[in-house]
């Protein structure tokens, strides 16, 4: 950890201010291999870099299984970063894998709903609607595959049967808060 001095006789800056975000920005969407302490190796597309923690997020696409894995690599663990392919891909490829995961979750919900009474689901939907409205949490209703889902800020979806286990989303903080809210509904 080297400190960068602004000028002579000044205090050293914290490492966060010497982190070269521009350098990592140029590496986004490139295929890289990262060698870490302990002999661990990761290979994938550099999805993003957290400028505060300096963690790297790799998106590894497995063409054989048509699946993707996300690796979060802590900055202190990194020994070497090697560019394997300097041809960037469109960031839309990530959305394909993320949306397919959402679609799979919806399909799983449809399968589980076959065993639950439709009246009970409708009653639960009304309770969730009323509760969210009373707490002034804005939501939209979206119908997909003949199922009504409640969408909050295009980040979190509440799927039938409208329990905390049927809440999915991309933002972990918002997701956990909405799950906690849904658990409060009796």
Cβ–Cβ < 8 Å for 62, 70: no
Where does CATH 2.30.30.100 sit in the chain? 15-104
Query: Reduced to 3 states, what is the DSSP secondary structure of residue 83?
Result: strand
Phi, psi of 177 (to 5 degrees): -65, -40
Mean pLDDT, consecutive 10-residue stretches, the chain (186 aa), reads 40 54 80 90 87 82 72 85 82 60 49 61 90 90 85 88 87 88 86
- Per-residue confidence (pLDDT) for residue 91, from 0 to 100: 62
pLDDT of residue 2: 37
CATH number of 15-104: 2.30.30.100
Q: From CA 109, how far away is CA 166, in angstroms rounded?
A: 8
Which residues share a beta bridge with 167? 158
Alpha-carbon span 14 to 6, nearest angstrom: 11
> What is residue 130's predicted lDDT score, i.e. its pLDDT?
92
Integer Cα distance of 171 and 155 in angstroms? 6
pTM of the predicted structure, to 2 decimals: 0.45
């Amino acid at each position: 950890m080297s400190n960068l001095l602004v000028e002579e006789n000044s205090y050293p800056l914290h490492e966060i201010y010497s982190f070269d975000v521009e350098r990592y920005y140029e590496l986004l969407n490139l295929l890289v291999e990262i060698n870490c302490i302990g002999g661990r190796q990761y290979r994938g597309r550099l999805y993003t870099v957290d400028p505060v923690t300096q963690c790297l997020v790799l998106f590894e696409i497995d063409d054989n299984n048509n699946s993707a894995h996300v690796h979060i690599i802590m900055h202190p663990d990194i020994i070497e970063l090697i560019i394997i392919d300097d041809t960037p891909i469109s960031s839309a490829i990530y959305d394909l894998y993320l949306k397919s995961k959402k679609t799979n979750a919806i399909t799983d919900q449809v399968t589980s709903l076959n065993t639950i009474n439709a009246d009970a689901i409708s009653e639960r939907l009304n309770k969730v609607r009323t509760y969210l409205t009373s707490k002034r949490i804005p939501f939209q209703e979206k119908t997909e595959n003949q199922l009504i889902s409640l969408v909050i800020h295009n980040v979190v979806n509440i799927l039938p049967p409208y329990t905390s286990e049927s809440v999915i989303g991309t933002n972990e903080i918002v997701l956990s808060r909405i799950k906690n809210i849904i658990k409060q509904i009796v």
